[in-house]
Amino acid sequence: MSPSRPLVIWCNYRLRPASVSRLRGAIRPHRPVLDRNQTHTDMAPAVSARKLARANIGIGQVTIEDLLAHPNVRSFHIASASYTRYDRTELMQHFSRSGRSLTNTSQVFAEPCAQHVLAMMLSFARQLLQSAQTQVIDRAWHYDERREGSKLLNHQNVVILGFGAMAKRPVQLLAPFEVHIGALRRCSIKTRGVTALTSRSLPLALGRADHVINILPDKPATRGFASRSLLRRVKKGAIFYNIGRGATVDQPALLRALQSRRLGGAYLDVVSPEPLPPTHPLWKARNCFITPHTGGEHLDEQERLVTHFISLFREYHRTGYIKSRIV
């Protein structure tokens, strides 16, 4: 495809000047339009985008109403891995019927999220988090306790809840440890070294799991999925990790599982609500460690996001369509 006139690329994702310059240079002679109502997070409410009416391609966060109202936007790229607000039947059907493309940014955030969860797995195994707490609290020499509590990741059992694009990189990073991985997903799994789990086989896998990693997106069908019933089936002493969405976990049930020592610990990068109130009991729960939804953040995030968008733009410019979909 070679457009007879320059395309208009609308953007309301908050970019630094250097990233804006790189975007302009890569899409020239096509023209970027930067919306003043900018956002830098998918957690902020989507705002109406009047200038979208002039665009052929969009990148950022908008309302569903905007996307439905502007058929001139042939391709829209969600500047986040999350697509919860866009996961509506009428929108997906409309884009499919009209040949429009809707994509997201899972590939950009998969790497930092994978490194984040691996760091926590190793920290739990090697008792680094507990030792850090000791240094802050009592500075005692817990030699026997730390020695007996330290483990190796090698050959342990891992269950992953949700196996979209975000889950594939953790599998690759865990490969040197020769862990046994089972993953729950509605569709088939064709990733080497991963055993597909169904709702029927999940309980048995949970009973053997040393680590349960939740990467489920926030959907009506997944809210509260990590329930009291599910957590009671997990092997005693296992570690629970959430890098998906806070709403997919029954947090009171998680708290009880930590207090009763059914779970050996938990790492939560996402919670509900966010920010988590300072008085919330999860802050003080035994072996529960929380980061403020920063698992996907990294220093060169904007550069990588722009690089990803440029590759999609070139595909659109060449073919008139983007094969990539929401993943």
Q: What percent of the chain has pLDDT over 90?
A: 73
Q: Does the pLDDT of residue 245 top 50, yes or no?
A: yes
For 19-75, the pLDDT digits (tens) are: 999 999 999 999 999 987 766 565 555 555 778 888 999 999 988 888 999 999 999
For residue 327, pLDDT over 50 is answered with no
* Residue 132 CB contacts under 8 Å (≥ 6 apart), including other chains: none
pLDDT digits (tens, 9 = 90+) for 115-136: 999 999 999 999 999 999 999 9
Instruction: Report the alpha-carbon distance of residue 60 to residue 103 in Å, rounded.
Output: 11
Question: Out of 101-105, 110-114, 193-197, which region has the weakest mean confidence (pLDDT)?
Answer: 101-105
Q: Which residue has the tokens 């590939």?
A: 107
Q: CB under 8 Å to 280, separation ≥6 — which residues? A: 271
* Among 158, 152, 184, 154, residue whose Cα is nearest residue 170: 158
- Give residue for tokens 């998918």: 42
Residues of the chain with CATH 3.40.50.720: 8-104+299-319, 110-290
The confidence band for 324, taking pLDDT boundaries of 50, 70 and 90, is: low
Nearest to 213 by CA among 240, 246, 232: 240
Task: Specify the pLDDT at position 87.
Answer: 87
DSSP codes joined into one string, 78-119 = ESSS--GGG--HHHHHHHHHHT-EEE--HHHHHHHHHHHHHH
Residue 24 CB neighbour total at 10 angstroms: 14
Kindly tell me if the per-residue pLDDT of 323 is higher than 70: no
pLDDT recorded at residue 201: 96
> Looking at domain 110-290, which CATH architecture does it have?
3-Layer(aba) Sandwich (3.40)
Is the distance from CB of 66 to CB of 10 less than 8 angstroms? no
Q: In whole angstroms, give the CA distance from residue 46 to residue 78.
A: 11
4 — pLDDT class (breaks 50, 70, 90) = low
Kindly tell me the sign of the dihedral angle through the C-alpha atoms of 108, 37, 324, 202.
Answer: positive
183 phi and psi, to 5 degrees?
A: -135, 140
Pair of tokens at residue 31: 């023209």
pLDDT tens digit sequence for 76-106: 999 888 888 888 889 989 888 998 999 999 9
Mean pLDDT, all residues of the chain: 91
CATH superfamily of 8-104+299-319: NAD(P)-binding Rossmann-like Domain (3.40.50.720)
Q: Evaluate whether 241 touches 213 at the Cβ level (below 8 Å).
A: yes
The percentage of the chain sitting over the pLDDT mark of 70, rounded to a whole number, equals 93
CA-based nearest residue to 206, from 178, 171, 234: 234
157-161 sheet: strands from edge to edge: 194-197, 180-184, 157-161, 211-214, 238-242, 263-268, 288-290
pLDDT band at 188 (very low <50, low <70, confident <90, very high): confident
